[in-house]
Amino acid sequence: MSAPRSPSEAKPPRMEALARLPLFFALEGKRALVTGGGTGAAWKAELLSATGAAVDVYAEQPSEEMLALAAEPPKGEIAIHLRAWQPEDFKDAAIAIGGCETEEEAARFAATARAAHVPVNVIDKPAFCDFAFGAIVNRSPLVIGISTDGAAPVFGQAIRAKLEALIPFGFSRWAEAARRWRKNVQSSGLSFSGRRRFWQVFTAHAVTHPNEEPAAGDFDKFLSETRGEGEALEQGSVTLVGAGPGDPELLTLRAVRALQSADVILIDDLVAPAILDFARREAKKMLVGKTASGPSCKQEEINSLMISLARAGKRVVRLKGGDPMIFGRAGEEIAACRAEGIPVEVVPGVTAAQGAASRLAISLTHRRAARRLQYVTGHAEDGHLPADFDWPSLADPTATTVVYMPIRTIAEFAQKAIEHGLDPTTPAIAVARATRPDEAVIEASIADLPARIAAASPGGPLVVMIGRALDEYRAARADVSKSLRKSKSTG
């Protein structure tokens, strides 16, 4: 039996290093300074005007492009001064953009701006910049900025093009509607939970009807729907969410939505840390680890914690590795919630067997090799091999068997399966940390696999797949090895 352990709050992961801090300047009605009259300066002046800034351009010879822009600015007025810039021009400026021909002029411009406490950017001269412009996806007031810190502007533009294709232009109207309606929602009398639910209803409609024109009737409908949920909004709930075997890209959209609306997330040790990047930042995260060989929280403690949090009105997500319904004790947690009248739902996830098979490109039910697929647990409640296995079924040569959590019992499992008729040469593959970047694969016959696992000592969650369907993986590896040997001999 594993050592006891109490639920504990998880420390939030530290922010990874940032090349740039993404910020959005509010420039409506403020003064912006631009020097130079070329194409780069004109583009920056256009951006600044689009924000509502009053733009002063200092250029002895402004280009036709700059003159045309000043005649028809996007939003804020653009005034052109036919002279070189002077230090006193920085007074009251909120931002300064320099189109400087030489390094000397760039250094003087940047130093003057900083002396006046004005953030400065010198076009195409990053050494003199306090901030940088990135590629922009404009669905204002929804605005997305993309930066590669100058390392690969073309890459940034390619990402922008992808986002432009993904994000409907109609989102601009819905984002503007959200801005108009925010004060009305705040004064609607809805509770905090109710207001959050209103915006969830709003978002669901906007995402599915992006090209509709938001109308006052929509606001009334969303408000009515929210109020119609009544006391249910204040009642807590529990959602069992399958985190999959590790790769965050295998999360379902429904799992992401659950993570982003949670108040509290109860996390298993086997959940890959990268999964929490999708969680609501304000949600409280608690470790309620259950592992076969390490300290584990008692199931009764986890059930009690879930119920107490839900009773306090919290939206609780019970985040489990793989699929909650496959050896995840979901049945016990669902029963505990139902017994206390707590609403509970389940969001399925990719189970470890599916994740491992997909990465190895193995069909677990290959029609020429398998007639059945069976999942079994590698240990019972006491930590030992279950005493009630149907060994003839496990020895069936037409079955593919996946053993979950077998790290301590695989040797005994293999021995008994062979004793009950399983061919010792049957292919077997152990996969540790399936679908994660550090995934480890150990391939052997079932007779030899336990020794190979012991020698490798793989950490993390482990599954073992057994059956003739795995022959295709062995054959594929043999073909790759043969090709490599052939290329070396002819190279």
Catalytic residues: 268, 290
Strand runs (DSSP E) across 366-490, as ranges? 372-377, 399-404, 427-432, 440-445, 462-466
Q: How many other C-beta atoms can be found within 10 angstroms of the C-beta atom of residue 184?
A: 12
Cα distance between residue 34 and residue 55, in whole Å: 7
Q: Between helices 410-419 and 449-456, what is the axis angle to 10°?
A: 170
How many residues comprise the chain?
491
Cα distance between residue 381 and residue 327, in whole Å: 12
- Local structure of 309: helix, strand or coil: helix
CA distances, 395 to each of 235, 444, 462 (Å): 49, 17, 21
Q: Where do runs of H (alpha helix) occur along 116-170?
A: 153-166
- Residues forming beta bridges with residue 122, ordered by sequence position: 98
Q: Do 146 and 156 contact (CB within 8 A), yes or no?
A: yes
Q: Dihedral angle at the C-alpha atoms of 266, 270, 272, 276, nearest 10 degrees?
A: 0
The H or E element containing residue 488 is helix 471-490
